Amino acid sequence: MNFQIKIIDNFFNLEDFKQLNSLNLEDAQENSLKIFHNKINNDNIIMESCIDNDLLLKLYKTYNHRVLSILKTLNLPKSEIVDYTDITIIKTGKNYKFPIHDDTPDKLLSGVIYLNLSENTGTIFYKNKRGKDKKIIEWKQNRAVFFSRIERETWHSYQGNGIENRTALIYNLMTKDI
């Protein structure tokens, strides 16, 4: 694989984890997705929000330095061109399968933090778009999985477990320069 993965258990403190799990966001149908985008720039200015602005600012101020440190560890040159943070909540229907894909080049660091309070399907990484050398990062509540492309591709996918919906927070450090 042309990227590195960093896994951190108990990423959010307990209070923030509980608050994120108690958000009243529309659920996804069993064969679809619901995406809730939130963006904040390096000057603490909210660019887009569909959750409470105070919560978004709190998440940014509490965790962004930690996430930036992860990027510096995985890919130091990219840490110099971060323009904003995209904190998105994705609700995946229990039968929905997002296809194998590569993140866009403007994502300098991609992170997934598993929010469901129960078991589900983790993130699945591959060597190529055809699904060679599949590696599943096990779902564990409040587990964070971060990755940054070293060269070009970060082939991965995700899906529901067929039993209940999957909810994850996506924490991306982004640039406008690409």
CB atoms within 10 A of CB 175: 15
| pLDDT computed for residue 103 by the predictor | 86
Provide CB contacts within 8 A for 68, sequence distance 6+.
79, 82, 173
Q: Rounded to whole angstroms, how far apart are CA atoms 129 and 166?
A: 23
Q: Rounded to whole angstroms, how far apart are CA atoms 87 and 111?
A: 9
Residue recorded with tokens 């509980």: 18
| pLDDT computed for residue 1 by the predictor | 53
At 76-97, the pLDDT tens digits run 999 999 999 999 999 999 999 9
Q: Residues in the chain with pLDDT < 70?
A: 1-3, 151-152, 178
At 126-142, the pLDDT tens digits run 988 998 999 999 999 99
Q: What is the DSSP letter of 148?
A: E
